[in-house]
Amino acid sequence: MDFALSDEHQAFRRVVRSFAESEIAPHAARWDDEHHFPLDVVRAMGDLGLFGIPFPEEFGGGGADFLMFCIAVEEIARVDASLAITLEAAVGLGANPIHHFGTAEQKGRWLPDLLAGRALAAFALTEPDSGSDAGATRTKAVRDGDEWVIDGTKAFITNSGTAMTSLITVTARTPDGGISTIVVESGTPGLVIEPAYRKMAWRASDTHGVRFERCRVPRGNLLGEQGRGLHQFLSILDDGRIAIGAMSVGIASACLDHAVAYATHRSAFGRPIGANQGLAFQLADLQVAVEAARLLTYRAAWLRDQGRPFKQAAAQAKLFASETAVDAGRVATQVFGGAGVMEASPVARFYRDAKILEIGEGTSEIQRLVIARGLGLPV
């Protein structure tokens, strides 16, 4: 067994870290405070090739492995979770369904701009009354000649309303009784983007509700086989759970770094607060948890890259890493004391941003359900 990253992976990490620290970190707090989506920086991420990392070169992708993509997500999340989720959702939920289930014509039409970061795609799955129970989709799509007519409402859709958004893949119940996935291009009549949410976390990411009101799209916009949408999005979510694990590792690492630095220079009772075992041991435990979360995440990515089953590994990584990120935010805030709950604190934003990692792309409860079923339990 070899736990060392390749020279290529390590060099790539240095490139992304340098970009994140110079182009994102100095502005992240302001973007968060203003709920500002920084289009120019997202385009710069595209110029760096981040949106095409795990896709074939024939469509403009980087031809790299999924582990490379996870490293990019981790490094962006170390400074700003909003930009990290923008990248993760654009790749995992936006381009990935088209890459996996699209026809050659669909891939050729949509992937080049998505992989180059010239455009973003969204995946409209969640509804006001169906989150974890995604099979309870109420949005409907019926055939009318050579078109699909879509009606329904989606909620909490990332990357759905930016000036870069070019398409939204929607899950809808079709007349066969199953769920299908259909691509709706931006600007299509009947596609209504609701006002952006005011959020506790990921304030600089783009999140909207989406409505479809007699929205007509060509028959050829069906993605994959009709009625197979449930199978499609469950497999897509397995990929996304690994990437959310990587986001979690990035946030947890940032919290640990800030807490250690603060505990080293902040003094109380005549010595650094980090000299107190009660605090030092908390940080030691956190460091162990961060490394464990990273190993679980990298292992899941490696299994995927090797073409081996990875559903269980993805759930394990997402569960443990997301809960570690929340713990890291709590511990870091405690280390900072009163300063930690001030918005000017570097850990306040990370603490807020960590919580949603236990919810998005499958709650912690869903991850435990997946893991329990993998044990053969009748749940």
Q: How far apart are CA 277 and CA 282, in angstroms?
A: 8
Q: How confident is the model at residue 231 (pLDDT cuts 50, 70, 90)?
A: confident
- Does position 49 have pLDDT exceeding 80, yes or no? yes
Give the C-alpha distances (Å, rounded to integers) separating 111 from 118, 226, 374: 10, 21, 34
Please state the rounded mean pLDDT for residues 117-130: 94
- Does position 195 have pLDDT exceeding 90, yes or no? yes
Which pLDDT value is given to residue 230?
A: 86
- Does position 148 have pLDDT exceeding 90, yes or no? yes
pLDDT tens digits, 244-299: 999 999 999 999 999 999 999 999 999 999 999 999 999 999 999 999 999 999 99
Q: In whole numbers, what is the pLDDT of the chain averaged over residues?
A: 96
Q: How far apart are CA 107 and CA 118, in angstroms?
A: 15
Q: How confident is the model at residue 300 (pLDDT cuts 50, 70, 90)?
A: very high
- Does position 135 have pLDDT exceeding 90, yes or no? no
Rounded (5°) CA angle 318-183-214: 120
Q: Of the ranges 60-74, 129-143, 212-226, 349-363, which one carries the lowest mean pLDDT score?
A: 129-143
Q: How confident is the model at residue 136 (pLDDT cuts 50, 70, 90)?
A: confident
Write a three-state SS string for 37-85.
CCHHHHHHHHHCCHHHCCCCHHHCCCCCCHHHHHHHHHHHHCCCHHHHH
Q: How far apart are CA 201 and CA 209, in angstroms?
A: 16
Give the C-alpha distances (Å, rounded to integers) separating 357 from 189, 247, 252, 326: 34, 8, 11, 8
Sign of the CA dihedral 205, 209, 213, 214? Answer: positive
Q: How confident is the model at residue 2 (pLDDT cuts 50, 70, 90)?
A: confident
Domains assigned to the chain: 7-120 (1.10.540.10), 121-225 (2.40.110.10), 230-374 (1.20.140.10)
Q: How confident is the model at residue 131 (pLDDT cuts 50, 70, 90)?
A: confident
Which pLDDT value is given to residue 344?
A: 87
Which pLDDT value is given to residue 234?
A: 86
Q: Catalogue the active-site residues.
A: 361
pLDDT tens digits, 152-194: 999 999 999 999 999 999 999 999 889 999 999 999 999 999 9
Please state the rounded mean pLDDT for residues 351-370: 96
Question: 23: which 2 tokens?
Answer: 């182009």
Its pTM stands at 0.95
Which pLDDT value is given to residue 176?
A: 85
pLDDT tens digits, 302-349: 999 999 999 999 999 999 999 999 999 999 999 999 999 998 899 999
Q: What percent of the chain has pLDDT over 70?
A: 100
The residue written with tokens 């996935």 in the block is 181
Which pLDDT value is given to residue 158?
A: 97
- Does position 93 have pLDDT exceeding 80, yes or no? yes
CB 204 within 8 A of CB 156: no
Cα radius of gyration (the chain):
21
Rounded (5°) CA angle 247-125-197: 70
- Does position 21 have pLDDT exceeding 90, yes or no? yes
- Does position 25 have pLDDT exceeding 90, yes or no? yes
Give the C-alpha distances (Å, rounded to integers) separating 181 from 18, 91, 230, 276: 38, 17, 9, 56
Which pLDDT value is given to residue 1?
A: 76
